[in-house]
A and B are shown apart, each in its own frame.
Chain A
Amino acid sequence: MKKVQFSSYFTQYFFVAPQLAIILIFLYLPIVQTFTDAFTTQDAFGFGRYFSGFDNFIFSMSDATYLRAFKFTIIFICVITFFSCSIGLLLAVQANNVIHGKSYYKTLLIWPYAIAPAVVGVTANYFFSERLGILYSFFHNIWGFNWYDNIYDAYIYVFIAATWKQISANFIFFLAGLQTIQKSIIEASMIDCKSNFRRFWTITFPLLMPTTFFLIIINITYAFFDTLGIIDTTTIGAPSGETKTLVFKAYIDGFRGLDIGSAGAQSIIMMLIVLVITVFQFRFIEGRIHYN
């Protein structure tokens, strides 16, 4: 590659300036802002603020609704990661085995990937609204489904909406992962093992572990942060805040409740949680994975 030498520092910084500006304005500035918010308290009319140490943290964490949101978020992450990964994997394995019309299947399965979370929520709304929803009436007829009042029904509602959105992303990665497995390895295992099921779990799945590991992290992050739009367009936390995730709660507390200090503190706690999860995954899980 040809290297261009710039005569002055000015030209160099001129060219990187837009990139730097974006990072500064949209990344570093908000971080600083969050920290300032988290460690200070504003008076009721927004005329002044004072340093309040860990008060915001203690206040947030001792709140019963916070703990409830925490619990829900954990369940939410586990359920969504599990179901979206396993359904994505199942579809990828099936699509990979299809001989005729392979590309149609792939295209159709990849489509939902392009939909924004908020749009997913709005779509899910049509399925689950009391008056119009097909799924609402379907479930309602079976066991009296009513997410407006029943916590578990509300769980089902957001789980389905959030999982559906992520399946196609997982599908793409699993399909790509499947195609990197050498065909001859699969053939060798066909001679060694009769059962499709057993072959999948002893050969294919272990060889997909790098993809799975990557997707687990991606899905956790998705369930944690990206689902704000889905919650906001589906249950909005109903019934009585039971389906609030941590991110949604921080958003509501900060922008609807205008408790900026508490929202800042909650954001920092979330950051720490993600940090812990990531470190844990890389430390304890990655070592057990075989990379080709």
Chain B
Amino acid sequence: MSFLELKNITKVYPNGTKAINETSLNIEYGEFMVFVGPSGCGKSTLLRMIAGLEDITEGEIDLDGKTINKIDPSERDVAMVFQNYALYPHMNVYKNLSYGLKNRGESKENIDNKVKEVAELLEIKEYLQRKPAQLSGGQRQRVAMGRAIVRNPKVFLFDEPLSNLDAKLRGQVRIEIKKLQQSMNVTSVFVTHDQVEAMTLGDRLAVINNGVIEQLGTPIEVYEKPASKFVGEFIGSPQMNFVNGAINNNNFESSSFKLNKDLNIDNASVVLGFRAEDLNLKEEGEISLTIDIIEKLGSDSIIYGRDKDGQSICYKESGNTKLEVGEIINISLDVDAVHIFDEKTGKRLN
């Protein structure tokens, strides 16, 4: 039995919207699980149901062998970090950290020790007497983390906690969260729409779309073998290239090029997916590309162009490219790295 189990969870809002559709998921003890998906996909709803802030229409949530569906949020032994931190603005940092403990009736001495310990851990000791308004974004983030840690919960729930930080700080805090989680070994669920956060933080990802988990797996599994066209599109930057075509006699064929590889798939209309880094500049390459835009990132160059059919394709080259806009190039596709999706269902076929 897993530490945190979601069994056939369904959420229907009073207005009839189905936010989550019969979703099941097992999260192991100490695991860092990331829910990733576009906005409105239901990932936050799922997290909020674990927290108890949202009713569960159908299904069951078990934490540490106990069904928590009907248990009050304060008694589920979970801690949540909110997107906007949700610090209590009228309380100083010390009181923000101690509020939950105080309500649980812990002794003053005990509270004091725990708060000091957490403040030390997160290096917010000198701000204990300040109000949230007097803190910077990063400091507030730490206090919000501290408020979660100090409760010593069974599960950490993070609801896009990094999206209010600027890019540089986001990177730093991301690493800090990962470190903290590893050293404390607390089971965590992290919601984000940012695929970089998802890839770097998660032990496993649940890619969610339209209230359904499209794929569950380690970041690398998800990246290398996306289970559906949606996952391939959502994970990875620059976005995966897609070319419509058909399988004929086990070979892929589009109107502009043909792949020379035995795919062992029945004849069907399919979408071919391939990543920008799986393309190589080659004289005899099967795809010819007219370059539209070049983005030079320093370490890499991303080249956007169109093939003969006007299908946009993006190709990535390491270093600073010598290519120029308007040039026509031939590129070849690494046939072992292609993803074939069913045109109708979007499911992976190879």
Q: Which residues of A contact B (CB under 8 A)?
A: 99, 182, 184-185, 187-195, 198, 202-203, 206-207, 209, 290, 292
Contacts and interface: CB of A to CB of B under 8 A. Distances in A.
Interface centre among A99, A182, A187, A189, by most B CB within 10 Å?
A187
B89 A191 contact: no
Interface residues of B, number: 24
A241 to B, nearest CB: 45
A193 B99 contact: yes
A149 B239 CA distance: 86
B73 A191 contact: yes
A184 B82 contact: yes
A198 B88 contact: no
Contacts of A191: 51-53, 73-74, 78-80, 100
Contacts of A185: 86-89
Interface in B68-103: 72-75, 78-80, 82-84, 86-90, 99-100, 103
A289 to B, nearest CB: 9
Interface string B43-82: 0000000011100000000000000000011110011101
Interface of A (DSSP majority class) = helix
A188 B74 contact: no
Contact of A190 (B53, B83, B90): B53
Interface of B (DSSP majority class) = loop
Contacts of A188: 80, 82, 86-88, 147
Contacts of A202: 99
Interface centre among A187, A191, A207, by most B CB within 10 Å?
A191
A53 B103 CA distance: 63
A99 B14 CA distance: 10
Contacts of A198: 103
Nearest to A209: B90
B72 A290 contact: no
A209 B103 CA distance: 22
A192 B78 contact: no
Contacts of A189: 88, 99
Contacts of B88: 185, 188-189, 203
A191 B75 CA distance: 8
Contacts of B103: 192-195, 198
A185 B53 CA distance: 12
A-B CB proximity, top 4 nearest: A192-B100, A184-B86, A290-B90, A188-B86
Contacts of B14: 99
Contact of B89 (A99, A192, A195, A207): A207
B99 A192 contact: yes
A182 to B, nearest CB: 7
